[in-house]
């Protein structure tokens, strides 16, 4: 204050910079405001109609080519092939395909396999309708000591790979590895085991505006690769689930607060709506919703804000997804195949306002940026999916008018001999108006040269 009063030009500069920051913050909002299938806020979002839905699909023995594969579905209603599989890219073998994440420029997509520990990097920009496998990382275990690459979360120039397990005992002690976008290993941060930490891990989500990262906790390879029926009967194994969540200083990658969150908290989601300062997760085994919000002193506090279904029946809440306004949350419960929409207008007092049975089982949910389209897939883990006729495997697209889900199209992944449908990501890129500089070989002749 003193300086700016004394030196008007400094004041002007301060104002100009402040304005630039505000403009920057405002213009970046579209890329940081929405969930859009829970992308990192460092990744540009698809704000209009998505052209394609990529489905990371688990290969099934005796079905098609039996391999894990990236399936591309045309999702643009204006297209002649709307609702159809337009490409499938097998990666060779089955490794327990699970989740995916875009790099910070949305030009590449990383996809992991929880059993083989392979990480596949696809080019999804050069021709988004035909992703190309450009690199396979086979060094995840050797470099990080971790097992089960789960979450792929973009940060500037790098990718956080949050794991589920470790190479020593395949239990739940785990951590997060960081790679460059080029696929070079950088570092590993272990989940805390002191000050109340149990060392378990699962998802990671960052709020850049708060310099905060929330991580959750699931279970190790020994459990997630075990048959679910057998696991439930194994008392010792059932004790090996995470019971904590951790708020981190994202910049320093150090824990700032560890919370007791019983029952394996899974997906972590931030509301990026302007002014919001809260995150949400749900627990798989106890069916609770937890919200993390700063108190008046800026300290993060955990609030148990709701119960999903009847916990005694273990509905098994799995994927969740916030709508872009932060005022609604989709929650899937795997065991009853039901999608549930919760009103989050008051995040500390949410309420369930809509339910719809999607299939015999349902796992992932991905709403579009505008919330008008919602996509569902089915597979949880190859050894946890339902058996026999209940083993639905599909992608279903719905239109959502705020009151009801109306089916737009569905693809039976077994009938199409594809496999188990798991994680989804959207892509849209108009190649007629946008070309990578790298792809402009023919145009290079048009560029002038400096002497």
Instruction: Determine which residue in the list 65, 127, 169, 184 makes contact with another protein, applying CB under 8 A.
Output: 184
Q: State yes or no: residue 81 binds another protein (CB under 8 A).
A: no
**β-pairing verdict for 146-155 and 158-166:** antiparallel
Q: Of 233, 251, 349, 357, which lies in the binding site for another protein, with binding defined by CB under 8 A? A: 251
- Select from 6-14, 58-66, 191-199, 314-322 the region that touches another protein (CB under 8 A): 6-14
CB of 32 to another protein, least distance (A): 5
- Per rule CB under 8 A, is residue 195 in the interface with another protein? no
Identity of the residue, 208 or 350, whose beta carbon is nearer to another protein in the bound complex: 208
Task: For residue 391, give the nearest of 169, 90, 58, 2 by alpha carbon.
Answer: 58
Could you give the 3-state DSSP secondary structure of residue 124? coil
Q: Assess 186 for contact with another protein (CB under 8 A).
A: yes
CB atoms within 10 A of CB 178: 18
Q: Which of 145, 72, 58 is nearest to 109 (CA)?
A: 72
Strands (E), 183-297: 185-190, 204-207, 212-215, 244-249, 254-260, 269-270, 278-282, 288-294
Task: Classify residue 64 as exposed, middle or buried by CB count within 10 Å of its CB (0-12, 13-18, 19+).
Answer: middle
CB of 117 closer than 8 Å to CB of 106:
no
In terms of CB distance, is 99 or 107 closer to another protein?
Answer: 107
* Best CA proximity match to 393, nearest among 430, 436, 373, 422: 422
Examine residue 48 and tell whether it contacts another protein (CB under 8 A): no
Segment lying near another protein (by CB under 8 A), choices 40-48, 66-74, 284-292, 400-408: 40-48
- Is the distance from CB of 212 to CB of 205 less than 8 angstroms? no
In the complex, the smallest distance separating the C-beta of residue 448 from another protein, rounded to whole angstroms, is 5
Task: Report the residue number, 62 or 298, with the smaller CB distance to another protein.
Answer: 298
Q: Kindly tell me which of 300 and 398 has the beta carbon lying closer to another protein.
A: 300
> Exactly one of 239, 296, 415, 449 binds another protein (CB under 8 A); which one?
449
**By CB under 8 A, is residue 416 in contact with another protein?**
no
Q: Which residues lie closer than 8 Å to 76 by C-beta, 6 or more apart?
A: 49, 50, 51, 52, 82
Helices (H), 186-242: 221-224, 228-233, 235-238
Residue 432 binds another protein, judged by CB under 8 A: yes
78 binds another protein (CB under 8 A): no
x/- letters, 113..142, toward another protein (CB under 8 A) = ------------x-----------------
Residue 440 in the binding site for another protein (CB under 8 A): yes
Would you say how long the chain is, in residues? Answer: 451
Question: Look-up: residue for tokens 């990480």?
Answer: 119
Interacting residues with another protein between 9 and 28 (CB under 8 A): 9-10, 12-13, 16-17, 20-21, 23-24, 27-28
Q: How far is CA 349 from CA 22, 305, 309, in A?
A: 31, 6, 16
For the stretch 397-404, contacts whose Cβ atoms lie closer than 8 Å and that sit 24 or more positions apart, written own/partner, are 397/53, 397/75, 397/83, 397/373, 398/373, 398/374, 399/372, 399/373, 400/367, 400/371, 400/372, 400/373, 400/374, 401/372, 403/354, 404/354, 404/356
CB closer to another protein out of 10 and 238: 10
Contacts of 249 (CB under 8 A, 6+ apart): 211, 212, 213, 255, 256
- Looking at 3-11, 84-92, 131-139, 393-401, which segment touches another protein (CB under 8 A)? 3-11
**Which of 101, 131, 201, 208 is in the footprint of another protein by CB under 8 A?**
208
| Binding track over 287-326 against another protein, x by CB under 8 A | -----------x----------------------------
Spatial neighbors of 241 by CB under 8 A, at least 6 apart, are 172, 200, 217, 218, 219, 223, 263, 264, 284, 285
Instruction: Classify residue 32 by its DSSP letter.
Output: H
Q: Is 390 in the site for another protein (CB under 8 A)?
A: no
- Toward another protein, which CB reaches closer, 9 or 415? 9
Identified binder of another protein from the candidate list 70, 159, 176, 178, rule CB under 8 A = 178
Nearer to another protein, 102 or 342 (CB): 102
Task: Pick the piece of the chain touching another protein (CB under 8 A) from 301-309, 328-336, 369-377, 431-439.
Answer: 431-439
Nearer to another protein, 66 or 105 (CB): 105
Binding stretches for another protein (CB under 8 A): 2-3, 7, 9-10, 12-13, 16-17, 20-21, 23-24, 27-28, 31-32, 41-42, 44, 104-105, 107, 125, 155-158, 178, 180-182, 184, 186-187, 208, 210-212, 249, 251-252, 254, 298, 432-438, 440, 443-444, 446-451
């Amino acid at each position: 204050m003193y300086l700016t009063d004394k030196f008007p030009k400094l004041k002007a500069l301060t104002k100009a910079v402040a304005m630039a920051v505000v403009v920057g913050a405002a213009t970046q909002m579209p890329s940081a405001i929405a969930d859009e299938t829970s992308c990192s806020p460092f990744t540009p979002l698809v704000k209009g109609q998505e052209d394609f839905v990529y489905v990371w699909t688990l290969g099934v023995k005796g079905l098609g080519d039996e391999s894990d594969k990236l399936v591309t579905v045309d999702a643009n209603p204006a297209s002649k092939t709307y609702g159809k599989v337009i490409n499938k890219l097998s990666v060779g073998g089955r490794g327990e395909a699970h989740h995916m994440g875009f790099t910070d420029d949305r030009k590449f997509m990383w996809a992991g396999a929880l059993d083989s520990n392979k990480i596949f990097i696809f080019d999804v920009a050069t021709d988004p309708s035909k992703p190309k496998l450009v690199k396979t990382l086979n060094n995840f275990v050797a470099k990080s000591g971790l097992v089960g690459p789960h979450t792929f979360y973009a940060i500037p120039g790098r990718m956080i790979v949050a794991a589920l397990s470790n190479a020593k005992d395949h239990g739940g002690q785990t951590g997060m590895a960081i790679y460059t976008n080029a696929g070079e290993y950088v570092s590993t941060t272990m989940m805390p085991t002191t000050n109340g930490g149990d060392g378990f891990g699962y998802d990671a989500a960052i709020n850049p505006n708060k310099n905060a990262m929330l991580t959750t906790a699931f279970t190790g390879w020994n459990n997630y690769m075990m048959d679910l029926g057998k696991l439930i009967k194994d008392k010792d194994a059932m004790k090996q689930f995470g019971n904590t969540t951790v708020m981190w200083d994202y910049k320093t990658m150090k824990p700032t607060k560890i919370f007791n969150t019983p029952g394996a908290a899974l997906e972590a989601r931030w509301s990026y709506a302007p002014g919001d300062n809260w995150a949400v997760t749900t627990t798989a085994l106890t069916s609770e919703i937890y919200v993390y919000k700063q108190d008046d002193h800026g300290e993060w506090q955990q609030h148990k804000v709701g119960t999903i279904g009847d916990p005694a029946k273990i509905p098994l809440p799995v994927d969740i997804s916030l709508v872009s306004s932060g005022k609604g949350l989709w929650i899937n419960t795997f065991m009853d195949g039901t999608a549930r929409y919760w009103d989050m207008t008051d995040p500390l007092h949410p309420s369930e306002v809509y339910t719809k049975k999607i299939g015999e089982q349902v796992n992932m949910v991905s709403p579009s940026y505008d919330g008008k389209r919602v996509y569902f897939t089915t597979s949880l883990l190859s050894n946890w999916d339902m058996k026999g006729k209940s083993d639905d495997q599909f992608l279903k697209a719905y239109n959502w008018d705020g009151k009801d889900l109306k089916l737009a199209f569905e693809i039976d992944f077994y009938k199409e001999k594809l496999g188990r449908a798991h994680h989804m990501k959207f892509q849209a890129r108009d190649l007629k108006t946008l070309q990578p500089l790298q792809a402009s070989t023919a145009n290079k002749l048009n560029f002038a040269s400096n002497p």
